[in-house]
Structure formats: structure tokens, C-alpha cells
Amino acid sequence: RRVRIDFMRVFEKKYKKERGFTLVELVLVVPLVAIVFLIAYNILFISLRSMKYVNSTFNTSEDVRIFLNNIQKEVNQAKKAVEDENIGPLYKKSENELYIYTDANGEKPELIRYRLEDDKILRDVKKAINENYPYEFEKTFKNEKIVLSNVKSEAIFGEIEDLKDKKNIQEGEDYRKKLKLNIEIFTGENSTSIKINTYLVSKSRAKFQ
């Protein structure tokens, strides 16, 4: 009998050591585990969203930088290319359509057009078909491509003004012009945007030869 009692004690002791969770323990542990997973999920979600926002803003900023570098270079190199007195190195048909006569590529003059269509700025080009001033250009624009997307602005090109001081006009030709550029672009996240407010300036006083 004593052996049986000792055996029962050993069995009960071992059972107590190997028993599972009680209902009270489960009630306490499950909510804690759920809270930990919820916190971890929120941290992961916020991190991914922040990364997406940073990437989107960086990509938009890079597109803006490339666009500004290109159009400023083209305007800086712009010169008068046709005989029409009303058409200088750059001119516009509307607040959303700009024309630039330029040799930014170091070849014969090109007529570059920028225009806003829907929420995109498009760029295309005509090449000169003769060798000397006044130049003539191809009949149709070619190589159209999107240079900026998600444009919020409804009017992007301001008035074109003479760069020379009319009160002190120097002798000789002076075809320099300046134009105000105003563009607002959505980055695609949190309704944030990038604003461009700058002047484009043609630097050459002379016309193409």
C-alpha cells in the first residue's frame, strides 16, 4: 500500500509539472499576444507607408530636377530664328503652350514645344530644314514624350517680357526674353505637392546665323 501511495505522489508531482495552461492564464496571455502583434503590424505598416512616401517624393523631385535642367538649358540657348517680328527666341500660344527656338544640342536650330494636356506636360520637337537664317522647320512635331505628370496647375507659363532695359536701350539687336514658370505637382502621397516658381531667361542678344 505504501508503495502505491508513493507511486501516486510521484505521478501527481510529475503531472503538475507537465500540465498545460489554465483558462485564467489563457485569458491573460492571449490579449497580450494580440496587443504585441497589433503593435508590430502598425510599426510595419507605418514604416512601409513612410518608405513609399519617401520614394514617391524622391521620384517626383528627380523628375522635376531633370525637367528644369533641360528647359532652362534650352531657353538659355534660345535665339531668334524666323523673320516674324512678333516671334522671338521663345513665344507662347497660351498659358499652357510654349515654343522655344534653340540649339541646345549643338546642331541646327530646333523648335521645341512644351504643352500642358490634362495633368501632363508634353515635349516634342521640329528640326530646321534649311541651313541659314531665316529658318524653316518641319511641318509636324515629332518625338512627343511626357516630361512631367500629376501637374495640378491650370496655367504654367507667364507673360514673356523683354530682358533689356527699355529706358536705356543699347545699340544693336537684343532679342533676350524672360518668362515666369509656375508649376505645382502632386507627389502622389498625402496630397502633398512640389511647387516650381522660377524665371526662364534667353541669354543671347543675337539671332541664329
Per run of 10 residues, the mean pLDDT along the chain (length 209 residues) is 51 53 71 80 68 70 92 94 92 95 84 95 95 93 94 93 67 86 84 88 89
What's the pLDDT at 2?
Answer: 45
Among residues 208, 154, 150, the alpha carbon closest in space to that of 182 is found at 154
Among residues 127, 122, 88, the alpha carbon closest in space to that of 111 is found at 127
- Please answer whether residues 109 and 103 qualify as being in contact, where contact means their C-beta atoms are separated by less than 8 angstroms: yes
What's the pLDDT at 171?
Answer: 59
How far is 98 from 78, CA to CA, in rounded Å? 13
What's the pLDDT at 10?
Answer: 53
User: Looking at residue 50, what DSSP letter applies?
Assistant: H
What's the pLDDT at 53?
Answer: 60
What's the pLDDT at 82?
Answer: 94
What's the pLDDT at 56?
Answer: 65
| Strands 177-186, 193-201: pairing kind | antiparallel
Cell of 164: 533689356
Query: Torsions phi, psi of 165, nearest 5?
Result: -85, 115
